[in-house]
């Protein structure tokens, strides 16, 4: 039985799952998989069209966006002429991950430096504020719905700060919106006289929006050659139109992930070099949020540190840019940075196919709202009482962590959920903790900064088969916490960023428990590095 396959630069070794994989190819042919995707046939995934028929605009967005390139160039040139040489993007999930990737891959390509803020941690907010002089900054407020609490809060804060420097007449000229027609953000942009509002295709979900305005406006500011980027994506789209499944790279990659996940290999381990590691962050949301539902899911494992040994390889698949020397695996071809356009389309198409194999809708996110609803309750209680109930938060210590992780069994994973300012120093400490936990428990580990991951892996955490052990690490609100304005242009406030962040952590913990997940919460110091290092040193001692 054939176990190794090669198609259009992709190589697969499915190992002992050869029979299942070959059967999946034959079934996809009988089901006319490729043709039905391009015909936008919702019955490929579910009997009803809800959140499918209006989520397939990504299939041809690269071709359609070519016509937008002149206006995007004009927009960039005008901002440059007005002295704006840096951009701060305020957004979450699908609105922030592709722009962040562009800023890493193409750093130094343009006059315009782009930074992303997708955290409600007050120290993170102040850090970005100090690095962005409003007189030189273009602020992008990016949200499909316009109702995302983090983005709304960040907008109101930075609008007020910029207004204090620029004045009421000039401040709107430094703000840009990327959103859907008729959204709350579109109305806000009109009310406050934003420089420009880009209305994106409403038929594309956030995590599939990298090649729409949500990705291309920031890409243009970074200096990306948009024609080259979109042509790369169009080239891959042509390859993914081929009806012969065995010669279609997107179909084969999706069948690989879906079939192997159904066989128990549901931990997709991405072994990318450092200069491509940021692509893993984008892939993490696409795969986790698309597949993690109805008791199923593919867990992306990115930036995994080197372990002395990988405990249980029977639940993994490996994805690399070079030969990995282990099976099952997929080897992806990536010759230049502009191949990112092709990679966007390839993985979007493959994720849609994986959803077909798993029998789920890869375009909805049914469990994401649960954490938001719990957070709203906690915030409202705080507004009424002036206090946060933190009875579920424990003191960090190895004995408690050890007792918690001893629940782990083969097929499980450990998710470190960190509600603190993202920083290289903290990430390095977390990576050292991952090594110790991985070697001690034999389980794969992941890291997510909150609330960022709530718009990414948060869906999978509550929608998969319940295999996660969730360890929350929460820094408390600082004494000099930052008020969130109730309205842009006004100073009144009834909540701070630090309180919002902790409320989001507690809300997600409650949502996890309601779905039967195992979760434990710890308070750590304002600078979490020392606490993490101490915990790491205690493991195994």
* 31 assigned to some structural domain: yes
Which residue(s) pair with 199 in the sheet? 179
Q: In terms of domains, do 479 and 517 share one?
A: yes
Can you tell me the distance from the alpha carbon of 332 to that of 159, in angstroms, rounded to the nearest whole number? 43
* 306 assigned to some structural domain: yes
Q: In terms of domains, do 253 and 309 share one?
A: yes
Q: In terms of domains, do 249 and 218 share one?
A: no
Domain that holds residue 377: 368-538
Q: Which residues of the chain fall short of a pLDDT of 70?
A: 109-111, 308-311, 324-325, 526, 541
* 346 assigned to some structural domain: yes
* 64 assigned to some structural domain: no
> Do 175 and 62 form a contact (C-beta atoms < 8 A)?
no
Q: In terms of domains, do 140 and 193 share one?
A: yes
Q: In terms of domains, do 532 and 387 share one?
A: yes
H helix or E strand, kind and range, residue 140: strand 137-142
**Phi, psi at residue 332, to the nearest 5°?**
-105, 140
Evaluated on CA atoms 7, 277, 347, 435, the torsion sign reads positive
Report, in angstroms and rounded to the nearest whole number, the Rg of the chain calculated over CA atoms. Answer: 23
> Do 331 and 324 form a contact (C-beta atoms < 8 A)?
yes
Q: In terms of domains, do 375 and 523 share one?
A: yes
> Do 248 and 242 form a contact (C-beta atoms < 8 A)?
yes
Write the CATH number for 237. Answer: 3.40.50.10490
Alpha helices in 386-528 (DSSP H): 398-405, 424-441, 458-463, 497-514
Q: How many helices (H) and strands (E) does the chain have?
A: 19, 16
* 48 assigned to some structural domain: no
Half-sphere exposure at residue 108, Cβ-oriented, CA atoms within 13 angstroms: 1
> Do 398 and 441 form a contact (C-beta atoms < 8 A)?
no
The pair of structure tokens assigned to 182 is 């008729």
Evaluated on CA atoms 395, 398, 403, 406, the torsion sign reads positive
Q: How many whole angstroms from its chain centre is CA 25? A: 30
The pair of structure tokens assigned to 437 is 């936990």
Which residue(s) pair with 518 in the sheet? 469
**Phi, psi at residue 301, to the nearest 5°?**
-115, 110
Q: In terms of domains, do 179 and 112 share one?
A: yes
- Torsion from C-alpha of 385, 419, 180, 79, nearest 10 degrees: 110
Count: domains in the chain: 3
Instruction: Give a three-class secondary structure readout of 156-191.
Output: HHHHHHHHHHHCCCCHHHHEEEEECCCCHHHHHHHH
Question: Residue 487: its pLDDT value, please?
Answer: 97
Evaluated on CA atoms 515, 516, 518, 521, the torsion sign reads positive
Q: In terms of domains, do 385 and 518 share one?
A: yes
* 71 assigned to some structural domain: no
Can you tell me the distance from the alpha carbon of 245 to that of 341, in angstroms, rounded to the nearest whole number? 22
Domain boundary among 358, 387, 416: 358
Q: In terms of domains, do 317 and 385 share one?
A: no
Q: In terms of domains, do 321 and 442 share one?
A: no
Can you tell me the distance from the alpha carbon of 138 to that of 120, in angstroms, rounded to the nearest whole number? 20
Can you tell me the distance from the alpha carbon of 20 to that of 422, in angstroms, rounded to the nearest whole number? 42
> Do 91 and 142 form a contact (C-beta atoms < 8 A)?
yes
Q: In terms of domains, do 352 and 383 share one?
A: no
Q: In terms of domains, do 349 and 377 share one?
A: no
Question: Residue 214: its pLDDT value, please?
Answer: 98
* 73 assigned to some structural domain: no
* 49 assigned to some structural domain: no
Can you tell me the distance from the alpha carbon of 499 to that of 149, in angstroms, rounded to the nearest whole number? 13
């Amino acid at each position: 039985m054939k176990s190794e396959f090669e198609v259009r630069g992709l190589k697969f070794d499915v190992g002992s799952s050869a029979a299942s994989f070959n059967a999946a190819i034959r079934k996809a042919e009988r089901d006319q998989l490729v043709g039905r995707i391009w015909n936008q046939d919702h019955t490929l995934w579910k009997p009803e069209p809800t959140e499918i028929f209006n989520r397939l605009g990504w299939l041809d967005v690269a071709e359609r966006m070519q016509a937008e390139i002149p206006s995007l160039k004009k927009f960039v040139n005008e901002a440059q002429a007005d002295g704006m040489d840096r951009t701060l993007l305020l957004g979450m999930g699908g609105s922030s991950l592709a722009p962040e990737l562009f800023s890493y891959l193409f750093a130094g390509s343009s006059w315009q430096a782009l930074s992303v803020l997708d955290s409600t941690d007050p120290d993170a907010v102040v850090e970005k504020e100090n690095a962005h002089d409003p007189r030189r900054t273009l602020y992008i407020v990016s949200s499909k719905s316009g109702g995302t609490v983090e983005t709304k809060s960040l907008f109101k804060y930075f609008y007020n700060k910029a207004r204090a420097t620029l004045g009421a007449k000039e401040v709107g000229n430094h703000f840009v919106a990327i959103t859907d027609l008729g959204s709350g953000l579109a109305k806000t942009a009109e009310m406050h006289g934003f420089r420009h509002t880009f209305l994106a295709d409403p038929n594309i979900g956030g995590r599939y929006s990298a090649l729409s305005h949500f990705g291309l406006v920031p890409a243009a500011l970074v200096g990306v050659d948009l024609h080259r980027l979109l042509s790369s994506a169009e080239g891959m789209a042509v390859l993914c139109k081929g009806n012969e499944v065995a010669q279609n790279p997107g179909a084969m990659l999706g069948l690989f992930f879906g079939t192997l996940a159904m066989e128990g290999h549901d931990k997709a381990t991405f072994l990318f070099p450092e200069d491509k590691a940021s692509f893993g962050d984008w892939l993490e949301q696409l795969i986790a949020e698309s597949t993690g539902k109805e008791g199923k899911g593919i867990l992306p494992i990115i930036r995994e540190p080197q372990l002395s040994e990988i405990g249980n390889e029977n639940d993994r698949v490996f994805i690399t840019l070079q030969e990995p020397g282990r099976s099952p695996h997929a080897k992806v071809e990536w010759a230049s940075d502009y191949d990112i356009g092709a990679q966007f389309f390839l993985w979007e198409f493959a994720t849609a196919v994986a959803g077909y194999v798993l029998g789920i809708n890869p375009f909805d996110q049914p469990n994401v709202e649960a954490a938001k609803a719990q957070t709203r309750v906690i915030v409202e209680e705080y507004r009424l009482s002036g206090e946060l109930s933190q009875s579920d938060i424990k003191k960090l210590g190895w004995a408690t962590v050890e007792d918690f992780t001893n629940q782990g069994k083969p097929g499980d994973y450990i998710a470190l959920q960190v509600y603190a300012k993202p920083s290289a120093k903290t990430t390095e400490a977390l990576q050292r903790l991952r090594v110790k936990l991985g070697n001690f428990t034999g389980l794969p580990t992941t890291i997510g900064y909150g609330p960022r991951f709530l718009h990414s892996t948060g869906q999978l955490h509550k929608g998969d088969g319940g295999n996660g052990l969730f360890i929350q690490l929460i820094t408390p609100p600082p004494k000099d916490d930052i008020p969130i304005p109730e309205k842009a242009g006004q100073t009144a406030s009834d909540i701070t960023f630090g309180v919002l962040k902790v409320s989001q952590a507690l809300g997600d913990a409650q949502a996890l428990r309601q779905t039967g997940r195992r979760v434990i919460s710890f308070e750590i110091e304002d600078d979490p590095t020392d606490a993490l290092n101490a915990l790491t040193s205690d493991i195994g001692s």
